[in-house]
Structure 1
Amino acid sequence: MDIEGKDPNNYPDLNELREVGRTGTNITSFTDYKYRDDNTFADIRGKSMKTVKNIGDVKLKRMIVIDGDINTKRKSVYTSMFLSKARNLPDDYLVFTDNIVTLSGSIPDFYTLRSVFSTPALGFVQWKTQL
């Protein structure tokens, strides 16, 4: 296949892979979401965020977004990696993250440890849909 010199918009899967390689996420190439103001994923990528109970830090490395509807025409290049026919969520985007969790000291109990993985790492980032 000869693609050199052709419009890159004709290859959405390639654009999605490029965005993940460059930025760590496919949020703008796969969805209609746009960054708010001058914010980008780089503002939080690799930055230490305290856990809710302050038992450690979480660093977000990558965030992959796919459509939960396996019957949609526009599928992420990552859909088959993360979603099977047994799990169809037609009205949702699914978000998969790659994180580094560093615990500070001993963990008092299982429920406190569980809070590390339920920390809304992206809670302070607001996205808006471009209409």
Structure 2
Amino acid sequence: MSCNDKHYDVNCVCDVVKMIAEIQDVNTDFSCTTNCLNPVLGASNNHGMRPNTRVFSLYTKSGERFFASFLRNNCDDAESPFFRVESVEDCCAVLRVLELEGRNLSMCEFRATTQCIIVDLNCFCGIACIEDTFVPGV
């Protein structure tokens, strides 16, 4: 999705992230396939836990994937392009950096890091939803 896409009457990254924040706060028993514009979080993951997070990546206006740094438990610096929205006000969002556990996106599990960043969503032009999943500790 880009800033100029009029798909589903959602025309920018800011609106999509606001919608994701709203659906993460709603408890429902519905299950749907995952994409950024689904109004509910998807079906249970392979651990039987109801998803509580819509994992997504952001793309800069130059088309590059956005990465944020975080510290691993062993104090090594790491980067991740995966986020969970914690809150949004206007187009200012608090995003929690998520770490992909394992190397295979087809069987991925995400871990919430302690790193949160504040971003201006107007600075991004693309968003890609990865999956709806249960992230412990959020």
Scaled by the length of structure 2, the TM-score of the pair is: 0.28
Q: Tell which structure's C-alpha radius of gyration is larger.
A: 1
Return the structure number with greater helix share. 1
Scaled by the length of structure 1, the TM-score of the pair is: 0.29
